[in-house]
Amino acid sequence: MDCYLREALPVLQVTEDQTSISWETLKNALYSQPCNVILTETDGKLSGLISYGDLIRAKAAGLKEVPINRKYSAVGRNEFMKAREFFRARPSIKELPIIDAEGVLSGMCSSSDDLLYIEYSDPWEKNKYLPDALRRFKQIILVRPGDQDKRRINIFNTWKKHLQDNGILCTELSVEEAVQQQGNRRRMLLVDEEFRLGFQCLIEVFGGGVFNWGSVQTIKQFEAELAEHAYDELIRKFSASGVKVYNMIFTDHQTTPGRKRLAVGFKNWMRRPDARAVGPCVTADQAPAFYDELYTEEYAKEVGQYTVHLEKSDIYTRLKDCNDRYFHVKDGERLTVGQPDQADRTVWFFGPCFMIGAYVEDRHTIESYLQSMINRDGRSVRVVNCGCFETKYQEMIHMTSTPMKPGDIVVMHLENHEYSGTETIDLTDILDRNNVPNEWLLDIPLHCNHKVNELYARDLYDRMTTEGVLDSPVSAEPSEMLTRDLAINSLYLDLYFNDFHPEPGQRIGTVGMHGNPFTLGHRFLIETASRQVDKLFVLLIEDELGIFSYAERFAMAVDATRDLPNVTIVSGGPFQATRNVFREYFVKVDPADMEESATADALIYTEIIGPRLGVTCRFFGDEKHNPKMAFFNELMKKILPRYGIEAIELPRASVDGRAISASVARSAADSGDMDTLLANVPAATLRFMGLDFCDSEKK
């Protein structure tokens, strides 16, 4: 969760009886300070706000002025725990104003924590692939924040210097200049997500344009893109391991009459006034032609505007399990109708929208159509829908943590990029060959109806049968992870440990922890372990398990251990103690039922991470109060020595005879029990809990 001081926000002064604000005034406020909300004050106190959603609704209604929303939620300066709970319960709300007892605005807290992440995470020295990744860029546009926003300006200047030091020409633009130029497809960087939301609002509400998702990014998004160095290599590894990979993309060249007709249809769809208001959906006027013989008003509303819910973090995203009328998900996979319980071979689908089956019921997904075609042949093949709305990074993690075997088949769509080692299928060619009417599509070939899905499935089936991949030899046993070693090295170790090279005779240790929040107990464990080694890496679990985000937990741990010179706080990565490998830890199961995934997690550490870092010992705290962690500790005591790694269990720190606990700290923060809180957490944690939000040195 990030916090913004009042001077970094768009704040307008209004009278007590004023009910609305002109469009021009709101536009000027956002140009001065791009943000997702505009706040209003009356007589020095917060009196209302206007959100991006309010602006969208006012524009759709054709209002001459925008009403001020006087019904809003806010938090006090020491109520950040309340804010976190609020964001968890209502994810559609991104910001909460911060006011004192008299209602005076001091700032705003946001569910996004981009700024905190950037301030405490520095990829420039550790990631060996950055120089090569940056060679793709000759020029980058940087959108400059307002000079009064010191926190953003510091980050802006730091990144500008890094880019220039790597030979990139950086062009600075004001917000107004950037809004005018964002459609030219040149790479444009904004400091953080809150800034981006305001920028998008200026374009789509006030500029009458469409936000260019492909070229306008936040610094955090851009950093993630620079980690994409390994994707081609990973895809090639799939193929080299005996997995056939089909890559479904679309192209927009207009070399045939059919392609020209389709392009006109897509362009017309994008001109619709509601094209970007709520994201692509099948609107009431489109639905009769889109659903054709299936159409009823109820069906179109229930299927065409279905909301897909996600279980989401930075490194793990899956569909939430559900059992709705037309949409069924179990263990993160959408139902493939006709899927056999057992099969010799599996076809795995990865990708967004059309892979999920965003606008159709279960029986009309590409996967269900393909399964039906295969079943008619009597082949022992299972089709699995792993479709999800993921980033490239998340999708690569998803693919590389899915157990496959030689002879399996992967069908993927990864942000419309061609990859070596794959067979490319151009969806636009399929539409053109079959003379598909524009009414069966929305804005791009990925957003399509049931009939188009059947055509896509037919093309896949014909290719598979013609090429014999459904009849090729298949391995008897699945690999734990065909690309495990490469994925962990490329997607984790090369990003975080490239600058570390263990020396002979060095004693290297690690500690794994969640730190939700970071307590004096965590500090005791780290400090005690650091005295026994030459170098200690604290592997912070990146998967989100509790109320504090990874960025917050990372910042707490770094701040609280700055005085320990041989300690480095680092991400635990996407394959250590995360739902990608150790899913049972995150759900309610008996400890004995998680042995298989716990062992897989331990082996990733002992076989790949430990040897790369030269680890000689792993430390962990006594977890007698936590049955799952106690089980995992005992498992580690058995496995680690087999690989020459010493397992060292340390006693828990205590205060007044009671073990220091993160759960006790959270309860104390909730109830305002400062005595208990101070006994359990260091000063750094208090700061990130927001208990000294107005500390100007932090901002």
Condensed to tens digits (0 to 9), the pLDDT of residues 578-589 reads 888 888 877 778
Q: Predicted confidence band at 480 (pLDDT cuts at 50, 70, 90)?
A: low
Which residues, in sequence order, are CB contacts of 250 under 8 Å at separation 6+?
Answer: 416, 426, 427, 428, 444, 445, 446
Torsions phi, psi of 310, nearest 5? -120, 145
Q: What is the mean pLDDT of residues 452-461?
A: 98
| Amino acid making up residue 426 | D
What's the pLDDT score for residue 686? 87
Least confident of 255-259, 346-350, 419-423: 419-423
In what helix (H) or strand (E) does residue 22 lie, and over which residues does it extend?
strand 20-22
Per-residue pLDDT for 569 more than 70?
yes
What's the pLDDT score for residue 695? 43
Distance CA 686, CA 306 (A): 42
Structure tokens at 185: 């497809």
Structure tokens at 260: 């020209």
Return the higher-pLDDT residue of 346 and 76. Answer: 346
- Strand pairing category for 654-655 and 658-659: antiparallel
Long-range CB contacts (< 8 A, 24+ apart) of 62-66? 63/20, 64/23, 65/20, 65/21, 65/22, 65/23, 66/20, 66/21, 66/22, 66/23, 66/26
Q: What is the largest CA-CA distance in the chain?
A: 80
Q: What is the mean pLDDT of residues 669-685?
A: 87
For the chain, give every domain's residue range: 2-111, 115-226, 231-251+292-423+445-484, 500-688
Average pLDDT value over all residues in the chain? 89
What's the pLDDT score for residue 594? 86
- Same CATH topology for 2-111 and 115-226: the answer is no
Q: Predicted confidence band at 184 (pLDDT cuts at 50, 70, 90)?
A: confident
Distance CA 415, CA 392 (A): 7
Residues paired with 615 in a beta bridge: 508
Per-residue pLDDT for 128 more than 80?
no
Distance CA 180, CA 489 (A): 42
Q: Predicted confidence band at 278 (pLDDT cuts at 50, 70, 90)?
A: very low
Per-residue pLDDT for 446 more than 90?
yes
What CATH class has 2-111? alpha beta
Residue 318, classed as helix, strand or coil, is: strand
Structure tokens at 317: 């995203």
Check whether domain 115-226 has CATH 3.40.50, yes or no: yes
Q: What is the mean pLDDT of residues 512-529?
A: 94
Structure tokens at 663: 């759960």
Per-residue pLDDT for 316 more than 60?
yes
CATH number for the domain formed by residue range(s) 500-688: 3.40.50.620
- Number of CB atoms found within 10 A of residue 619's CB: 23
Torsion sign across C-alpha atoms 201, 204, 207, 209: positive
What is the Cα 472 distance to its own chain's centre? 36
Distance CA 603, CA 597 (A): 10
Distance CA 241, CA 400 (A): 12
Structure tokens at 323: 């059992």
